[in-house]
Amino acid sequence: MLTDLAKEYGIPLREGPKDYKRRGTVERAWLIEQYVHRRRTLPDLAREAGMSTANMARWAKTHDVPLRPRGGSSHSQVLRAIDQASRAPSILRPALGGQGASERLSRFAAASAYPSLGAAASGLGLNTFTLVAQINRVERELGGPLLVRAERGRPMTLTPLGKKVLKAIRKMQDNTMP
């Protein structure tokens, strides 16, 4: 129907994919270096390459480069977090990505002094589900359990990994205190 209308009004139609010309190419290595490692924004990269942001996003998809979620931290906050992570003890670096990372680590450190996560949540003024979810996330990011959860009459204890992580958090907190 659209083709008939275009012909009726004398609107030229494209022949199809053979006359389509891709505007610029983006090398995978460059995109990863700029977007992933240097944390530059897609609009910034698109301006530099002389293309639209949507086209740059298509290149990211073509090269299997995961896009950062929209509406998160500002670019400067992300860069500060990356800088902080680079100066942190190496054991903590995997958990220092994303918004609220240092707060999650601090909450784990504070919770480790309590006999259970329920008591820790109550003492810290948090919802138990929130604290458990945050500690679970830190455990996933760091690659193993940090706590042996409390069970009937037995208080919660730190795992060997948990002890190392707690020591690293204390060291990081000591280095950031004025």
Q: What is the CATH number of domain 89-176?
A: 1.10.10.10
| Numbers of helices and strands, H then E, in the chain | 9, 2
For residue range 138-174, list pLDDT tens digits in order: 999 999 999 999 998 899 999 999 999 999 999 888 8
Tell me the domain boundaries of the chain. Answer: 2-62, 89-176
Tokens of 80: 């500060």
For residue range 56-110, list pLDDT tens digits in order: 999 999 988 888 777 655 556 666 666 677 778 889 988 887 778 889 999 999 9
Position 6 pLDDT exceeds 80: yes
Partners of 158 in the β-ladder? 147
